């Protein structure tokens, strides 16, 4: 009888050891880090830029908050999953992780008539379009989405082998209808914002591009009036040499555009998008000597 009782106690002890979580300490660390990341993506404080304007948060934040709660719950999700072959995946939280950082900045013009109209567009669920920042004509900045979260600004586009630009980029919209010059105040604020973002996320200069660059068959923004050369001179983007070098006789223009990043399935659209960025006085699909030499100059950079 005593032996029987001893065996029962032994079995209970073994069972209790088996159910004890061997990863208790790392799970605790995982949960603590997740809590910090939740606070990071929830932050809505204004951040001063180096120039006069500062980031302004719009008052329609309640929609943002409701949407954000869903993603905060997703971050903490630790459920096991049953695979198709019946095997259950086990959850063990690693302690080595952080938020994915953006690696591109995509510039747009809003093609609308006012900052208020753009904000309304970005705060209606049916439009399914958004951006991280909107810069008004007077230099005011509206920060609409945490930089680590995925905005819906790029749509169907690609740059090099990256076919999901929304997942790796920050979208900046400039309040401009597409046919007017960009104000000096607006561009000065853009330069200040780019300075901050480039430093914060170590974004390569060549990864600061336009919507038309990533979607040449669909988009024409920012327009031919956008000062790409000024941005490049300040370290945001690249620009051809003042004296263009003749390319080698075997230089392949289509491959050159692909190396730069352009999708050349529609080569005519790719050439026009390139010229919209780099030869803004001649936005067409003509491959003249100047165009080929300019493509070669950017290709080498």
How far apart are the C-alpha atoms of 113 and 253, rounded to whole Å? 38
Query: How many CA atoms does the CB half-sphere of 112 hold within 13 Å?
Result: 17
Task: Give the relative orientation of helices 289-300 and 267-278 as an angle to the nearest 10 degrees.
Answer: 80
Q: How many CB atoms lie within 10 A of CB 287?
A: 15
How far apart are the C-alpha atoms of 57 and 145, rounded to whole Å? 9
Give all strands (DSSP E) within the chain, no chain letters. Answer: 55-56, 104-109, 133-135, 141-143, 169-174, 208-210
How far apart are the C-alpha atoms of 265 and 284, rounded to whole Å? 17
Verify whether residue 173 is a known catalytic residue. yes
**Three-state SS for 44?**
coil
- Give just the sign of the alpha carbon dihedral 145, 151, 153, 157: positive
How far apart are the C-alpha atoms of 233 and 238, rounded to whole Å? 8
25, 29, 52, 173: the catalytic one is 173
Say if strands 141-143 and 55-56 run parallel, antiparallel, or are unpaired. Answer: parallel
Task: Give the relative orientation of helices 24-42 and 61-76 as an angle to the nearest 10 degrees.
Answer: 160
The structure tokens listed for 184 are: 């000096």
Look at the block and give the residue holding tokens 């853009």: 190
Active site residue ranges? 173
């Amino acid at each position: 009888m005593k032996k029987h009782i001893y065996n029962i106690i032994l079995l209970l002890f073994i069972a209790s050891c088996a159910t004890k979580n061997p990863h208790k300490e790392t799970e605790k660390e995982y949960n603590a880090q997740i809590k910090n990341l939740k606070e990071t993506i929830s932050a809505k404080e204004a951040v001063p830029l180096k120039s006069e304007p500062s980031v302004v948060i719009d008052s329609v934040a309640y929609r943002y908050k409701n949407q954000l709660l869903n993603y905060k719950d997703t971050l903490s999700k630790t459920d096991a999953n049953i695979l198709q072959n019946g095997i259950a995946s086990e959850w063990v939280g690693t302690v080595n992780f952080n938020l994915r950082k953006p690696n591109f900045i995509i510039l747009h013009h809003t093609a609308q008539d006012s900052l208020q109209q753009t904000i309304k567009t970005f705060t209606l669920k049916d439009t399914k379009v958004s951006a991280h920042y909107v810069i008004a004509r007077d230099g005011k900045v509206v920060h609409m989405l945490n930089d680590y979260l995925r905005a819906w600004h790029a749509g169907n586009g690609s740059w090099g082998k990256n076919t999901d630009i929304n997942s790796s980029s920050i979208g900046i919209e400039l309040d401009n209808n597409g046919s007017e010059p960009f104000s000096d105040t607006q561009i000065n604020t853009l330069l200040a914002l780019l300075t901050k973002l480039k430093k914060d996320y170590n974004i390569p200069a060549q990864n600061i591009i336009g919507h038309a660059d990533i979607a040449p068959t669909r988009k024409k923004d920012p327009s031919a009036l956008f000062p790409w050369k000024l941005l490049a001179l300040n370290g945001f983007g690249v620009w051809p040499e003042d004296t263009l070098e003749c390319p080698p006789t075997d230089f392949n223009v289509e491959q050159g555009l692909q190396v730069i990043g352009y999708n050349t399935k529609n080569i005519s659209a790719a050439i026009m998008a390139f010229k919209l960025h780099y030869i803004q006085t001649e936005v067409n699909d003509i491959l003249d000597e100047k165009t080929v030499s300019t493509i070669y100059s950017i290709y080498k950079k």
